[in-house]
Structure 1
Amino acid sequence: MPLLYVPLFLITLVYFLYRHFTNKLDYWRKKNIAGPQPIPFFGNLKESALRRLPVGLLYKKFYEDFPEEKIVGIYLMKTPAILIRDLEIAKHVLIKDFDMFADRGIKFGEKDMGANLFHADGDTWRVLRSRFTPLFTSGKLKNMLHLIDERAEKFVKYVDLITKDNTEHEVHSLVRKYTQATIAACAFGLDMDTYGQLADTLKRIDKKIFTVNSSSILDMLYPGILKKMGGSKFPKEVKEFFFDLTKRIISQRQGKPTERNDFMDLILALRQKEIQCRTKNDDNLILDMNDSVISAQSFVFYAAGYETSASTMGFLLYQLALNQDIQDKVIEELDSVLKKYNGDLSLEAISELTYMGKVFDETLRMYPIIDKLKRCAQMDYRVPETDLTIKKGQIVIVPVHGIHFDEKYYPNPEVFDPERFSTENVAKRHSCAYMPFGLGP
């Protein structure tokens, strides 16, 4: 007799699970908001959850499937979210009404690696931004140029050496060697030639940082679940590596800035000043600049600078290889500017590489660093010129990849054309039609 209860139990369990994952899947239909048809458990993210399609390209598909809509209703697992197509609405969310969407909807906690400029929210983000933004002024970055220049010269010699016998190389792997050495020098003051074992360690760490894992997929489907479960998107080995590395460098420098003028020097100088930040209500916000907080900033400086730079350089070189006429113009401009500055590629010289700037911009249009922007409503918000109210806690997504390939803003978007970024053409477009690094504060 007890065996008869087993099928009954399973049927009941399946029923309640089905109800749990489908009870909100009519949310947008009831509000007359168009959107793709969701399915139980996955919502609209099945293709990304099964690793068939990157989520940025999936959002691009939703963007293209509803060309007449200003906003599109989608589901993250069972949670209703909003995908914005209209650039004026995007401007309100990202810039004009930023205070209502200051939360980026990334719930990784505010301890350990989560206490960084990219992942933190609320007061933690505000005080981090207030303290660390001054570190990235043009004057301070100019002081790092010699570190970049030294690695570039070594990289050119390396390329000359390996191309003597074989002129064909996988460009992404090649430029990663350069960006890794450059970021290691600018962030931590490390010379990859001196620390040979570090390259192997970083290769292993990089794989853990940039490979999509089950934790990433789970948090994509169910935003905030990792935080609720006490989990983390950052693998333990990654956290320990950056904490130990940061602690060792701080100890080597005796907790004080040296003359290297790298990122670690800037942070140590900042810690010495004991800057105190305030909110608009003049409430003191104190951030203890301990080793853990410093390691979190070092991590995001490395992660944001290394792979993104390598990918952009790789795609740029790929497009130059495909477009000989554009490559010739780039070389001609470089030769002219370098001749003017006696071969010294200073910041002043770089600022005169206007055509190269267009090439970079077009590369980032086709291959944006951030292919989607996510915000979380801090309060109920009436969407301008619509009947929709975004509820507090709802996720809002701006599909950067979709916007960058919209023919309304970029005719023949699949064609690589740097002249899209001439002064005249930029002036014709909406200010939010280009956002490879995101927009807003």
Structure 2
Amino acid sequence: MKKKLTISFFTFSFQIPFRFVTVTDVEKKDRKTRCCHATYMLALNGIPNGATFSGGCLDKVRSSQLKRVNISRRMLLVIFFVVSLLTLAYRAFRYRLTYWKRHGIPQLQPAIPFGDFKLHHPGTRIELTTSGLETQHAASRNPSPTGQYSQQESNPSPSAYKAKPVTSRPRKLGPVFRQNRFYGELLEDLYLQSKHLPLVGIYVTFRPVLVAVDPELIKAILVRDAECFGDRGLNADEDRDPMAANIFHIQGDRAKDLRSRLYSTFSAAKMRGYFIQLSSTAFSLVGALERSAGSVVEVQDVMSRYTADGTAAVLFGLEADSINDEHDMFREVARRAVAVDAFNLMRIAFYFLTPKFKNWLGIKFVDSVVESFMISMVRKISEHREREKSDQDLIQMLLDLRSSDLALKDEMVAAHALFFIIGSYEASTTTTSLCLYELAKNVDIQQKAQQEIDSVISKEEGELTVENMTDMRYVDWCINETYRKYPTLPILFRRCTKDYLVSEHNITIPSGSTVVIPLLGLANDPEFFPNPEAFLPERFENRPDYGLPFYPFGAGPRSCIAKRLGHLQTKVALVMLLAKFDIALANPDEGSVQFHPKFFITKAEQEQEQEQEQEQEQEQEQEQEQEQEQEQEQEQEQEQEQEQEQEQEQEQEQEQEQALPKFLYFHQ
């Protein structure tokens, strides 16, 4: 059994199993090997000749008596420095993971290296630790007439900050790194377990992030005190990555100025012209679907073609034709920009987890192919618009800003244009597809929407206009219920630009803190939306402002500037399709919609459908392999037959040559 040797070196000490010295003729006449449990004093220049051992084993050992030392001086120094660096790094990381605790904000119990993205088993608590927190979020959430938080208890005990156990579903904060669970659902779980708190501190790896829980605090962050949370906390290096200099990333006064210039492009007055273009695109969609009526249609593929063509026409004045041509260049670029592959996933992770490190590594917002296409498209449109004037659509407004005081470059114009393409293409496609899915699943709701559409259109002699579109309130409720159940962005980002005091709880949010608003958690909170799993458009009937907390496009000065256009694009498609078709599921017994774990923007998938598709793909692959084998066998047989025929022909030719005279043979 080896004993332990404690080695002291300056202020650091560590223990290792150590059998190292053979001692002869010391105090006793017999030869004997001894293992000493001793304190060995080391110097920087190595092991001294006269080493002193404590414990009564040896008093002094001369250098001639040491036959062999198993650890060299160089190895000891290497071990010391490695252990010292690891110790310092560990303590620095542990100190980093107490950031919220030191600021008196409740936090989870993070672990190195993933912070709070670790596994919580079903039925366990999410334990919260506190330090210096003086007031508790009130048990009642009802705001007072002045808009302040209602408070029932002023001095809670620290135990009051422990979340209640929830056993309805597993609490997993680790699978997001393994890409098998949607990150929005993870924050939804955290929200539902922390509802008694105003906010909770978490750590995404070593980055401290605040999760706002209280609806009144969320309203203050987005609207009332928006000047303190005016940025999204996404750092963009415009010199290295010009495509990141879009309206979503830029901050401060530049963002305010640009929004004010572009606001007229998405005003209510502009919607009339956009409606005509979107209606034309929707007519093309209906015509294509009528030709394939009775067959199964993949709804996301079809709707992505509609949104691509509509976006190209409305925002850029281009005539894309992806409805009839699945390889249309405009749609291919949009698909490439939002594609789910390893590099895009890594890019998204760096953008939102370690934005500063992302700039240092030179990771760009999109790949070089998309960047080159967008810059080339902007320059070609610019040349065309110089010859032929056009209406004030988005691209024209951006081109005009090049000669304004903002002095936008072509790369910056392309960056803003690309962001609107991504937002319109992915968000509108997903929302429209999921709304059609819910309407097909809930036939009674679909029939109500169709009755409303038929009733409104019949009053205008079958004509669809902007005016009668506004009368279709039930269709609006269906779209809003889709926004609620499947929010386009499951979370919102805001960065605190100066210290912000939450006076009702005596909590100060430090300047520079990133605040996350869990929209998916709010949307599935039964306190605000009873029976949240059900698709119930009627829940919006008596809520003209849709109440709180409902932020499908955000709120306040940093809300989505194109929300009117996005809603109109979805509504036109739904109205045109429901007026012409009855929507039905190919497999009514298919599983429920699940969020795609690899998408940052909400993306849906069906579990059973995926399994069936995988099985079908495997069966198809097996059938293809069998067919290939059969084809190979047939080809081999054909080759053999051809070889035999060639041999027979050669033999016949030889026989003929021998039978014919030479002059006749040459003549032939």
- Partners of 2:311 and 2:103 lie apart in 1 by 48
- Partners of 1:245 and 1:148 lie apart in 2 by 21
- Partners of 2:193 and 2:355 lie apart in 1 by 24
What are the residue-to-residue correspondences of 1:118-267 with 2, within 5 Å? 118-164=248-294, 166=295, 168-193=296-321, 199-200=328-329, 202-203=331-332, 205-211=334-340, 212-254=344-386, 257-259=389-391, 262-267=393-398
- Partners of 2:301 and 2:217 lie apart in 1 by 39
- Partners of 1:257 and 1:221 lie apart in 2 by 44
- Partners of 2:510 and 2:533 lie apart in 1 by 37
Shift of the 271–374 alpha-carbon distance from structure 1 to 2, 3 Å rule, reads: closer
**Correspondence for 2:472 among 342, 353, 365:** 353
Is 1:439 the equivalent of 2:555? yes
- Partners of 1:131 and 1:426 lie apart in 2 by 29
- Partners of 1:401 and 1:69 lie apart in 2 by 18
In the TM superposition, what is the alpha-carbon distance from 1:126 to its structure 2 partner?
A: 1.5
Q: How large is the Cα RMSD of the aligned pairs?
A: 2.5
- Partners of 2:360 and 2:501 lie apart in 1 by 29
* Residue 84 (structure 1) aligns with: 212
Shift of the 349–31 alpha-carbon distance from structure 1 to 2, 3 Å rule, reads: same
- Whether the 8 Å CA contact 2:308–2:330 is kept in 1: the answer is no
Unaligned segments of structure 2, at least 5 residues = 1-71, 118-173, 558-668
Deviations 1:103-130 (A, max 9, x none): 1111123452222221111122122112
Question: What SS is found at the alignment partner of 2:526?
Answer: coil
* Residue 245 (structure 2) aligns with: 115
In the TM superposition, what is the alpha-carbon distance from 1:426 to its structure 2 partner?
A: 5.5
**Greater displacement, 28-37 / 337-346:** 28-37
- Partners of 1:336 and 1:132 lie apart in 2 by 36
**Greater displacement, 78-87 / 320-329:** 78-87
- Whether the 8 Å CA contact 1:90–1:432 is kept in 2: the answer is no
**Greater displacement, 57-66 / 310-319:** 57-66
**Correspondence for 1:317 among 436, 439, 442:** 436
- Whether the 8 Å CA contact 1:375–1:396 is kept in 2: the answer is yes
In the TM superposition, what is the alpha-carbon distance from 1:221 to its structure 2 partner?
A: 2.4
* Residue 200 (structure 2) aligns with: 72
Shift of the 339–231 alpha-carbon distance from structure 1 to 2, 3 Å rule, reads: same
- Partners of 2:76 and 2:418 lie apart in 1 by 55
In the TM superposition, what is the alpha-carbon distance from 1:352 to its structure 2 partner?
A: 0.5
- Partners of 2:358 and 2:500 lie apart in 1 by 27
Q: Which amino acid aligns with 1:126?
A: K
- Partners of 1:52 and 1:293 lie apart in 2 by 35
Question: What SS is found at the alignment partner of 2:200?
Answer: strand
* Residue 3 (structure 2) aligns with: none
Deviations 1:198-230 (A, max 9, x none): 625642552343535212112332243223444
Shift of the 412–190 alpha-carbon distance from structure 1 to 2, 3 Å rule, reads: same
Q: Paired residues, what number?
A: 423
- Partners of 1:367 and 1:353 lie apart in 2 by 21
Shift of the 141–265 alpha-carbon distance from structure 1 to 2, 3 Å rule, reads: farther
**Correspondence for 2:232 among 104, 107, 110:** 104
Question: What SS is found at the alignment partner of 1:370?
Answer: coil
Question: What SS is found at the alignment partner of 1:397?
Answer: strand
In the TM superposition, what is the alpha-carbon distance from 1:417 to its structure 2 partner?
A: 0.3
In the TM superposition, what is the alpha-carbon distance from 1:418 to its structure 2 partner?
A: 0.4
- Structure with the largest fraction of helix: 1
- Partners of 1:7 and 1:318 lie apart in 2 by 61
- Partners of 2:326 and 2:304 lie apart in 1 by 17
* Residue 463 (structure 2) aligns with: 344
- Whether the 8 Å CA contact 1:42–1:221 is kept in 2: the answer is no
- Partners of 2:346 and 2:205 lie apart in 1 by 15
**Greater displacement, 123-132 / 108-117:** 108-117
* Residue 181 (structure 2) aligns with: 53
* Residue 392 (structure 1) aligns with: 511
What are the residue-to-residue correspondences of 1:281-430 with 2, within 5 Å? 286-422=405-541, 424-425=542-543
In the TM superposition, what is the alpha-carbon distance from 1:51 to its structure 2 partner?
A: 1.9
Structure of larger gyration radius? 2
- Partners of 1:21 and 1:342 lie apart in 2 by 70
In the TM superposition, what is the alpha-carbon distance from 1:80 to its structure 2 partner?
A: 2.1
- Partners of 1:254 and 1:337 lie apart in 2 by 42
- Whether the 8 Å CA contact 1:36–1:62 is kept in 2: the answer is no
Q: Which amino acid aligns with 2:348?
A: S
Q: Which amino acid aligns with 1:381?
A: Y
Q: Which amino acid aligns with 1:243?
A: I
Higher relative contact order (CA 8 A, sep 6+): 1
Shift of the 100–13 alpha-carbon distance from structure 1 to 2, 3 Å rule, reads: same
- Whether the 8 Å CA contact 2:316–2:395 is kept in 1: the answer is yes
Q: Which amino acid aligns with 2:554?
A: G
Unaligned segments of structure 1, at least 5 residues = 276-285
In the TM superposition, what is the alpha-carbon distance from 1:13 to its structure 2 partner?
A: 4.5
- Partners of 1:344 and 1:17 lie apart in 2 by 70
* Residue 221 (structure 2) aligns with: 93
- Partners of 2:310 and 2:297 lie apart in 1 by 20
